[in-house]
Amino acid sequence: MTAAAARAALHFACPGSIGQPTGGYRYDAEILRGMQAGGRDIVLHELAGRFPEADRAATDAARACVAAARGAVLAIDGLALPGFAGALPARETTVIALIHHPLALETGIPAPLRRRFAALEPELVRACAGVIVTSPATVPAIRAMGVAAERIRVVVPAVGRSGAASWRRNAGRARLLCVASLTPRKGHRVLLAALARLRALAWRIDLVGPRQYDRREAGRIATAIGARGLRGRVRLTGAVSAARVAAAYRAADLFVLPSFHEGYGMAFAEAIAAGLPVVGARAGAVPSTVPPRAGVLVRPGDPASLARALRPLVASRAARARLARGARLHGRSLPDWPAQARRFAAAIDALASP
């Protein structure tokens, strides 16, 4: 494929609607929007069916997508990639995988499905012309799948440029915030177990995020709130608009999310950009997303360690303010979406070149 052809229309395969309220979908949407603003013709394929455990509707949609993209460049979101089994490599089509994090690293999936993803995903990424990942921390996992370093590009997520709010001065109870889908990987029940140890302190928390991706886990979280005596202090908001999420960052005193794994952790970066101190777990790409001057990271899955990290920050506004200063400083270095869209376009062009 010539360089001119590589810079022509880009077909992009997304598992379902691109407007879904998660970091991965927002990344896809912001990157495509930025590329369109830069003059790139985008053909979006919002694939029907179930993903990542692809059903018949998903595989049919994937094959139709490959046919529609014949002779062009097709980028496939990694969550949709299993639907393309048997359709890759695609004749006369340059296929590039966008991997947010390896599927087998998802928390809470059955062991047989984990083994299936661990076997299938490497086959699929090796069939692609290249791979784009959203964090340097994911590169070793892709290399371990048998993909050469020169076939991998890193394009991290960005943050909005609305600016950090002035430091919160809530003199009463601390307002905590967690922004994440209610799925096992995000560690909400670990968070609730930690907060139960801090009942004597003055705090409340909003758990902002969609419930539909794992309704069983959402139910377990709701049950845990009552079982740990936290009703009235924990609010489950469900999915909310981007404007309300931004308002939640501005109103909070402290961001906390003890994920078991993150391919990058967009919510952490957004919290830092908003000038919030952060508490999380040393998992996946989180240590590279959250610098020590902006937050405290603990061992994944450990409520006692999480409670010890939270206690001084919940109790002391001055302790929160010290990390907030670091967050504001680091937030200034985070890229914006137009810049990352340009980097993504350059990565596509480089990987699509012969």
The domain spanning residue 126 has which CATH number? 3.40.50.2000
185 plus 70 within the same structural domain: no
Q: Do 140 and 178 reside in the same domain of the chain?
A: no
> Are residues 343 and 311 part of one domain?
no
Query: Which one, of 252, 309, 250, lies nearest residue 280 by Cα?
Result: 309
User: Three-state DSSP class for 298?
Assistant: strand
In a domain, 270, yes or no: yes
The whole model's pTM is what?
0.91
What confidence tier does 129 reach under pLDDT thresholds 50, 70, 90?
A: very high
Burial of 328 (0-12, 13-18, 19+ CB in 10 A): buried
Residues 179 and 92 in one domain: no
Confidence band (pLDDT; 50, 70, 90) for 172?
A: confident
Instruction: At 98, list the tokens.
Output: 């966008």
Residue type, 7: R
Q: Chain-wide mean pLDDT for the chain?
A: 94
Rounded to 10°, the helix 215-227/188-196 angle is 0
- Please state, in angstroms and rounded to a whole number, the distance separating the CA atoms of residues 300 and 306: 9
In a domain, 147, yes or no: yes
Number of neighbours of residue 354 by Cβ within 10 angstroms: 8
Say yes or no: 63 and 144 in one domain. yes
Find the domain containing 286 and state its range: 174-331
Percent of the chain exceeding pLDDT 90 equals 92
> What pLDDT is recorded for position 3?
43
Banded pLDDT at 76 (limits 50, 70, 90):
very high
Domain for residue 181, yes or no? yes
Kindly state whether residue 72 falls inside one of the protein's structural domains: yes
In a domain? residue 26: yes
In a domain, 168, yes or no: no
pLDDT of amino acid 163: 54
- Nearest CA-CA partner of 95 in 121, 79, 77: 77
- Does residue 326 sit within a domain? yes
98 and 229 within one domain:
no
For range 289-295, the mean pLDDT: 96
Closest C-alpha to 62, from 31, 93, 33, 39: 93
- For the chain, the farthest-separated pair of C-alpha atoms sits apart, in whole angstroms, at 65
Question: What are the counts of helices (DSSP H) followed by strands (DSSP E) for the chain?
Answer: 13, 12
Closest CA to 128 of 69, 84, 191, 79: 84
d(CA 23, CA 159) in angstroms, rounded, equals: 11
Do 343 and 326 fall into the same domain? no
Whether 193 and 92 share a structural domain: no
Question: Do 187 and 137 belong together in one domain?
Answer: no
Residue 4: predicted pLDDT: 44
Over its C-alpha atoms, the chain yields an Rg (Å, rounded) of 21
Q: Across residues 82-103, what is the average pLDDT?
A: 95
Instruction: Determine the pLDDT at residue 170.
Output: 59
Query: In this predicted structure, what is the pLDDT of residue 302?
Result: 98
Report the number of distinct structural domains present in the chain: 2
> Are 178 and 327 part of one and the same domain?
yes
Q: How far apart are CA 175 and CA 277, in angstroms?
A: 12
Q: Are residues 185 and 232 in the same domain?
A: yes
What is the spatial distance between Cα 158 and Cα 297, in angstroms, rounded to a whole number?
21
Would you call the peptide bond into 184 cis, given omega within 30 degrees of 0 as the criterion?
no
**What average pLDDT does range 126-143 have in this prediction?**
97
- The pLDDT of 195-223, averaged and rounded, is 97
Over range 169-193, report the average pLDDT.
92
Cα separation of 100 and 106, whole Å?
11
122 located within any domain: yes
Same domain for 233 and 147: no
Sequential DSSP letters for 80-124: TGGGGTTT-SPTT-EEEEEESS-GGG-TT--HHHHHHHHHHHHHH
What integer pLDDT is reported at residue 168 of this predicted model? Answer: 60
CB–CB of 230/192 below 8 Å? yes
d(CA 332, CA 174): 25
Q: What is d(CA 165, CA 168) in angstroms, rounded to the nearest whole number?
A: 8
Q: Return the closest-CA partner of residue 262 out of 344, 180, 176.
A: 180
DSSP state of 231: B
- First-residue to last-residue Cα distance in the chain: 6
